[in-house]
Amino acid sequence: MSEPLWQPRGDSSARLLGAGFFLAGSGVLVWQILGTLRQAEEGAQTLTYSLALVVLGVMCVALGVLWLVRGLAGYTWVRSMQSDPGARRTLLIAGFVLATLTMALMRWHLSRLGYD
């Protein structure tokens, strides 16, 4: 497997990459959630949001937190997923749970505003 040019070489660079992923994912989530809430406040009949962007934002936040906490070990763990089905399964399940929780909280809040 060839190494990409942007691969972090130490804990500080892996944590910096994690901070970038965390901020980017948070920005996407805030953009989607605030956009949907703005539509609800304006009284729109139907609300539109992108489920794919919500899932992408959640995954970026999850990877960002992993890399912020574990540093280079977390980055190496993610890179080893190509040969470790257990690690892929763990990340997939964690992403699914986080995305489902995010969508459930969003739907709960929208139902409180009168949307079904």
Q: Which residue has the tokens 């691969």?
A: 7
Instruction: Specify the pLDDT at position 101.
Output: 92
With b meaning 16 or more CB within 10 Å and e meaning fewer, what string describes 11-25? eebbbebbeebbeeb
Q: State percent of the chain over pLDDT 90.
A: 32
Please give the average per-residue pLDDT across 48-69, as a whole number: 90
The overall pTM is greater than 0.75: yes
pLDDT digits (tens, 9 = 90+) for 8-53: 888 889 999 999 999 999 999 999 988 888 888 888 888 888 888 9
Q: Average model confidence (pLDDT) for the chain?
A: 87
